[in-house]
Structure 1
Amino acid sequence: MSGEKLVKGFLVSKTDVKGKITYCNSAFIEISGFNESELLGKPHSIVRHPDMPRSIFAYLWENITQGKEVNVYVKNRAKDGGFYWVFANVTPSFNVKGEIIGYYSVRREPRQEGIKTATELYALIRESEKKGGVKEGLNTFKTYFENLKMPYEDYVMHLQTGE
């Protein structure tokens, strides 16, 4: 098992509407440790780390399926058991009729402050999920940002840009 890997450059992937990978760039292939044939056609969750709360992905899917862009810190697991943190931007892809035909994700190196905050928040959410599943985890997520008096998207962008 390997330890933490550092993201260099941009990790890019595209999926169909069900989250199956239809494209991945060489940087994503390299850091994940999978080869292209092991990634293509597989659910993007192939790199999901068990430390990631299910509620975060529920939030992501709820928004992208409504045509919204989402930015989120994600801890991924590599094929060798190592891990890597990313700051992910996920956007829907549309056809000429305006229908969602897939999703496009660009991930980059996250700021350490963002990783620290995400680690703490995700631990709280996982505890809530143990008590009441994804619904309770989403409630913890929502309450966290209500208490900060800042929308999630504003806060996560502040963490990543430092502004």
Structure 2
Amino acid sequence: MITVSPVNRARTSPADQFLVTHADLTGGITYANSYFCQAQACGEKELLGQPHNMLRHPDMPAAVFQLIWQRIRDGEEVFAYVKNMACNGEYYWTLSHLTPHYGAAARHIDSYQCFRRAASGRSIAAAEEAYRELRLIERSTNSKEQGVAASRQHLDGMMSRSGTSYDEWVLSLAALDDEETGLAA
């Protein structure tokens, strides 16, 4: 397994490039496109078979990943802002669209897909603010499980109070990205 330590240096990729991965049911990477490999500062051969959570930057709240995995295991798609960690320890923010993939008979999920594009300044700032709160909650309890549960409850409450779902919140941030990058219609 590749082990990486974070460094406080951002990586960038063009907003019009889609970074794509596929993962098996355990989260092992089975495919990574060339744009993803570039963003990740790793070759495809190094990435294949690695657990998808190797990308997890320590600044990301565990509650967000709990939400993501719950949703895709339940057969739902989910949009998320994610701070990933590259193989060299640098970080990059993405707007990620994660989906379950169904086998040929379309009865059972056989893998997961993630399509990402670069995030920009305003959406990153908003995500960082919300995620900072969640991380503080996660670290304020005696156990990791209690922290994640409390953080997830806070996240669900934030969305409920705003009258929106997590996906709607993420897509509202994506609109900020589109305005900044000129991708808005």
TM-score, with normalisation over the residues of structure 2?
A: 0.84
Q: Distance in 1 between matches of 2:70 and 2:43?
A: 30
Partner residue of 2:37? 29
The structure 1 residue matched to 2:127, chosen from 118, 123, 141, is 118
8 A contact 1:33–1:79 mirrored in 2: yes
Deviation, structure 1 residue 2: 6.7
Worse-superposed segment, 111-120 or 11-20? 111-120
Do structure 1's residue 148 and structure 2's residue 138 form an aligned pair? Answer: no
Q: Which amino acid aligns with 1:107?
A: R
Deviation, structure 1 residue 149: 1.6
Secondary structure at 1:14's aligned position in 2?
Answer: strand
Deviation, structure 1 residue 147: 1.7
Secondary structure at 2:130's aligned position in 1?
Answer: helix
Q: Distance in 2 between matches of 1:152 and 1:48?
A: 19
8 A contact 1:7–1:86 mirrored in 2: no
Runs of 4+ more than 2 Å apart? none
Q: Percent identity?
A: 34
Secondary structure at 1:143's aligned position in 2?
Answer: helix
8 A contact 1:85–1:109 mirrored in 2: yes
Alignment of 1:43-62 (within 5 A): 43-62=51-70
Do structure 1's residue 38 and structure 2's residue 46 form an aligned pair? Answer: yes
Partner residue of 2:118? 109
Shift in alpha-carbon separation, 1:53–1:33, aligned structure 2, 3 A: same
8 A contact 1:73–1:85 mirrored in 2: yes
CA-based RMSD: 1.4
Number of equivalenced pairs = 163
Q: Which amino acid aligns with 1:7?
A: S
Unaligned runs of 5+ in 2: 1-6, 177-183
Worse-superposed segment, 126-135 or 48-57? 126-135
Q: Distance in 2 between matches of 1:122 and 1:114?
A: 12
8 A contact 1:49–1:77 mirrored in 2: yes
